[in-house]
Amino acid sequence: MKKLFWAAGLGLLPWIAVLGTTLPDVVAAQHWRLAWTGLDAAEALGLLLTAWLLGRGHARTPLVATATATLLLTDAWFDVVTAGDDVVFSLLLAALEVPLALACLSAAVPRPVPAHV
């Protein structure tokens, strides 16, 4: 499995170079509204599920919290790089999403259970 990940990661490097040199700077995207609302819906579900699992001390909390943090950081990235003229609003959104992602990552770190004396 490790070799697969090495090969896939290294194989992406030339592809990134191709994309960086051939993709247009501006394109019209279909289903733009669906893409953004779907991403935000996934974030909301992840945040709610993280809170629910965290409240129960569930073993899967780190997995869900990490996935939710990833969604939030992805949203912040695309908010900023696709901002256009709304860069200030996009930066404000990212300023909310990044700390929330860090909070999710904090919830993902296993906490030692205190020993009772």
Over residues 26-70, the pLDDT tens digits come to 889 899 999 999 999 999 999 999 999 999 999 999 999 999 999
One-letter-per-residue 3-state SS of the chain: CHHHHHHHHHHHHHHHHHHHHHCCCCCCCCCHHHHHHHHHHHHHHHHHHHHHHHHHCCCCHHHHHHHHHHHHHHHHHHHHHCCHHHHHHHHHHHHHHHHHHHHHHHHHCCCCCCCCC
Q: What is the pLDDT of residues 79-102, one digit of tens each?
A: 999 888 878 988 999 999 999 999
Q: Give the pLDDT mean for 17-33.
A: 92
